[in-house]
């Protein structure tokens, strides 16, 4: 059994980031509104991103990392745009090294 970190795009265009050991069931519960909390009133639309991990600790660490990201980085993650994620990680004050451009 694996563990998942995931990100949902909600009806109000906000993002919800979480982790679970059963992605399909958890997304269904978010859609049904049975979990309470953040997604209950925002009704998630689409699963924007998910990644499987071997341990719950790894999935939780990924959840915490993505939760701390800017909206621009989350948007890039959904698109799978790793170059843009790297650019955003370097920030505007630190130019991206030539090898990463």
Convert the pLDDT of each residue in 36-76 to its tens digit: 899 988 888 789 999 999 999 999 999 999 999 999 999 99
The segment(s) of the chain belonging to CATH 3.40.1440.10 are 1-68
- Over residues 17-29, the mean pLDDT reads 96
The answer for 49, left when phi > 0, alpha when psi is -120 to 50, beta otherwise, is: beta
**pLDDT single digits (tens) 49-60:** 999 999 999 999
pLDDT at 94: 57
How far is the C-alpha of 99 from the C-alpha of 94, rounded, in Å?
14
Chosen CATH of 1-68 out of 2.60.40.1180, 3.40.1440.10, 3.40.50.720, 3.40.50.150: 3.40.1440.10
């Amino acid at each position: 059994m694996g563990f998942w970190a995931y990100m949902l795009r909600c009806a109000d265009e906000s993002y919800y980031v979480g982790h679970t050991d059963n992605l399909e069931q958890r997304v269904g519960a978010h859609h049904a509104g049975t979990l309470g909390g953040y997604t209950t009133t925002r009704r998630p639309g689409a699963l924007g991103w998910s990644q499987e991990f071997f341990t719950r600790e790894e999935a939780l660490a990924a959840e915490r990392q993505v939760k701390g990201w800017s909206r621009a980085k989350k948007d890039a993650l959904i698109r799978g745009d790793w170059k843009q994620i790297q650019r955003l990680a370097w920030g505007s004050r630190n130019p991206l090294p030539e090898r990463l451009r």
